Structure formats: C-alpha cells, structure tokens
Structure 1
Amino acid sequence: MNGTRPIRDVYDAVADTTRRKLLRMLADVEELPLHEITVHFQMGRTAVSKHLGILKDAGLVTQRKVGRETRYRLNATPLREIQDWVSFYEGFWKERIAKLNQLLEEKK
C-alpha cells in the first residue's frame, strides 16, 4: 500500500455519530488539542482518541505534537468522495421526479 492511500474507508469513518460530531467541531476551528475536544463528549479521553484515530486512518484529520499535547485538525478533502457519490443520486432523483411530474401532467 502506498503512503497516500487512507487505511480506513471514509464512509466507515463518518458512519458513527460521534465521529461526525468530531468532524463538525474541527471544521469550526483551525485545530484543537485533545483535552479541549474531550470535554464535549460523555466518554473518556481514550475513547475520544480512538475515534480520532479512525478519522486519522481515513485521512479526515491530521495531528501534530506540541510539547506533550496532541492537536487535531480537519482535512476535509476525503469528504469529496462522499459528496461526489451523493451528487450522483441527487441527479438521479431530480430526473425521476421530473418524469413523475411529466406523467402527472399528462394524466390531467
């Protein structure tokens, strides 16, 4: 496996509500240290770290050490894959609804 391909699937990473909340939090700031992230969840630091690890494996967050502190930052680029997938179905449904409207108009 090359160094640029994520280890974890982006869909798997965002399937969990806690991880989606983490992504949303990180979208609002440049970066956050783990201790500031943890206070927003009703779980321990280790559990939050595991969720961040899954997001990191999918390429959705990056981390850096500042002294003894680990800081996390959003990398939204992998979310483009999800956006592209959803966009296809948006067009699919628009087309189907237009055909349904056309059929309903013809029935009048």
Structure 2
Amino acid sequence: MIEVTAIDAVLRTLADPTRRAIFERVVNSDEITVVELTRGSGVTQGAISQHLKSLKQAGLVAERPEGRNVYYRAEPEGLAPLADWMSHYAVFWRERFANLKTLLKEIDP
C-alpha cells in the first residue's frame, strides 16, 4: 500500500481552499512569483508565502530563486501518492459496480 504519511501530507495541504486555489494558479503557470500570486487574490503576500511553504513541504511545488525573485512551479510527482491511493479505490469501485450490474441483470432478465 502507499505510504500513509505522504497521502496525509497531500490531503492536508490541499484541504485548505485558499491553498488549493494557489496550487491551481501555480499549475496553470509555467512559473509564477509570490507577487504575481498575490495580485487579485485578496490574500496578503505573507499568507501566500505561508501557503507556498506548505505546498513545498508536501512536495507539490518547487522553487527557483533568481535574483530578488523566487519562481514557483508545480511538481506533478507530488500528486503521485494521492493518484496511487485513488487508483487503488478505483479498482475497488469498478469491482463493486460490476457486481451490481450482474445482480441487476439477474433481478431483471
């Protein structure tokens, strides 16, 4: 089975709606700075930085310093524990739905 702590970290990090919105903006950019993320977000630059720190600790974003700016980009591998966990349950539900389909065919020939 997948390492529980990695799944917990990703789920806990993405549970916050503001953090999820920031992550989506990072995902939709090649690279983005804190200043760019702050613009139009209604969230302070300090709060954005804290959310980015959480996203980085969970392995969901990476940073690249360049001069005075720090550029953030999404780390797709960070979602791997969650994707693996969900694929495990996809098999579970596929089997259950197949059983239900068989049962319904038996009930209503």
Q: Normalised by the size of structure 1, how large is the TM-score?
A: 0.84
**Kindly, what percent of the aligned residue pairs are identical?**
37
Instruction: Return structure 1 stretches of 4+ with deviation > 4 angstroms.
Output: none
Letter in 1 for 2:59: G
Question: For residues 50-104 of structure 1, what are the alpha-carbon distances to aligned partners after superposition, in whole Å with 9 as ceiling and x for unaligned?
Answer: 1000001111111122222221111110201101111111111111111111111
* 1:83 alignment partner, SS class: helix
2:57 and 2:18 mapped to 1: Cα distance? 16
Q: Normalised by the size of structure 2, how large is the TM-score?
A: 0.84
Q: In angstroms, what is the RMSD of aligned CA positions?
A: 1.7
* Structure-2 residue corresponding to 1:48: 48
* 2:73 alignment partner, SS class: strand
| Unmatched 5+ stretches in structure 2 | 1-5
| Unmatched 5+ stretches in structure 1 | 1-5
1:43 and 1:26 mapped to 2: Cα distance? 15
2:40 and 2:78 mapped to 1: Cα distance? 24
Aligned length in residues? 102
* Structure-1 residue corresponding to 2:3: none
